Structure 1
Amino acid sequence: MLRFNRVLDRWLTITTAAAIIVMMVHIVVHALARSLFDAPIYGTNEIVEYWYLPIVALLGIPAGQLQKEHITVTMVVDRARSATAAVLKIFACILGALVSLAFAWFGLMKALENTAIGSTADVSAIITWPVYYLVPIVFVLLAVLYILDAVVIARTGRPDPDLDPGEPTETDWEDRTY
């Protein structure tokens, strides 16, 4: 499972970084072409708004879950016994998976609707319907990550599963001895 998390984290990071780099190059070339040659690239604003930004934003959701960087409130779990905390975390993971699957279902319905009408960006002819399929993919992936966390918590009995992608955390630095 740890290998899956590392591969997925690397893939999400590389894909997101590539989208950001391509977006920046696209914007710079557009600005230079507009300024120097008075010939801007058609639909740059729409491509950035409807393609690059959703890719970057949506892929950050499972990446945050993999790296345990989402905001969590741990008032109850921190004060509970380990077994109780594990049960509460499993419940939270199952709830997170169900909510993620609901978002995936809603996203799939919107993607199919946008495919049927051939959705485009505002008044331009740039197609946008393929990007809508990223929503169900991302949220199904997030549900899988929640389920994997719940399985690891159930197997180990520890409320904080160690499924990090190999990056040292703050506590790793504090626990080192020299």
Structure 2
Amino acid sequence: MHALIRWLNRAVMSLACLFMVIMMAHITIDVGLRYFFGGRLIGTLEVVSYYYMVVIVFLCLGFVELRGEHIRVDLFAQMMPKGVQLALYVLACVLGLWFFGLLFWQSAKDAIGATTRAEEAMSNFTFYIWPARWALPIGFAAIWLAVLSNLFKSIAQKRAL
């Protein structure tokens, strides 16, 4: 199970990296067109804001959690006995599973609603934003699985990760 969760999170992270490379190319082309030819790519700001940034931020959540690289404040927990540290970590994981489960559920409902009504942003042209809504439930599912994996690993190793 851990290997499958790790593979899924790496795949999602790879997709986020692909979007980052595409974003860099898109912005570079737009700047080049402005600088050399006085032109521009229409919709660059919208695409970067509504697609690239959302996908890059949310699809990375699970990968970062799986590696244990989210910001943690454990100043006092470090001074406690190992058993208490493990209990606090298990509690934090259970709360994380609840929290990210709720975020997944609500963002999936929102994505379904946005898709159903073909949600679009106000712009000089028709700009659909409903596809970007799906980055949130995918990201929240990935971090939920990563928290679950870290929880099982910590219980098996009898220590907080």
Work out whether 1:28 is the aligned partner of 2:50.
no
SS at match of 2:90: helix
Partner of 1:176: none
SS at match of 2:128: coil
Residue 47 of structure 1: how far off its partner (Å): 0.6
State the alpha-carbon separation in 2 of the partners of residues 4 and 58 from structure 1.
20
Partner of 1:81: 81
Partner of 1:126: 127
The residue type paired with residue 115 of structure 2 is T
The residue type paired with residue 75 of structure 1 is L
The residue type paired with residue 146 of structure 1 is V
The residue type paired with residue 45 of structure 2 is N
Partner of 1:171: none
Post-superposition CA distance 1:50-72 (Å, at most 9, x none):
11111111122222212211111
State the alpha-carbon separation in 1 of the partners of residues 154 and 10 from structure 2.
23
Partner of 2:152: 151
Residue 89 of structure 1: how far off its partner (Å): 0.7
Q: Could you state the TM-score of these two structures normalised by the residue count of structure 1?
A: 0.79
Q: Could you state the TM-score of these two structures normalised by the residue count of structure 2?
A: 0.87
Say whether the 8 Å CA contact 2:119–2:130 is kept in structure 1.
Answer: yes
**Stretch moving more, 119-128 or 135-144:** 119-128
Larger relative contact order (CA 8 Å, sep ≥ 6):
2
Residue 17 of structure 1: how far off its partner (Å): 2.4
Any gaps of 5 or more consecutive residues in structure 2?
none
Residue 92 of structure 1: how far off its partner (Å): 0.6
Any gaps of 5 or more consecutive residues in structure 1?
161-178
SS at match of 2:73: coil
**Stretch moving more, 4-13 or 46-55:** 4-13
Distance 1:7 1:82, change over 3 A: same
| Runs of 4+ residues over 4 Å off in structure 1 | none
Work out whether 1:94 is the aligned partner of 2:99.
no
The percent of aligned pairs where both chains have the same amino acid is 23
Partner of 2:44: 44
The residue type paired with residue 26 of structure 2 is H
Work out whether 1:107 is the aligned partner of 2:107.
yes
Post-superposition CA distance 1:70-95 (Å, at most 9, x none):
11111342122222211211111010
Taking only aligned residues, the RMSD between alpha carbons, in angstroms, comes to 2.0
State the alpha-carbon separation in 1 of the partners of residues 25 and 79 from structure 2.
49
Residue 38 of structure 1: how far off its partner (Å): 4.2
Post-superposition CA distance 1:80-122 (Å, at most 9, x none):
2222211211111010011001111121122122122211232
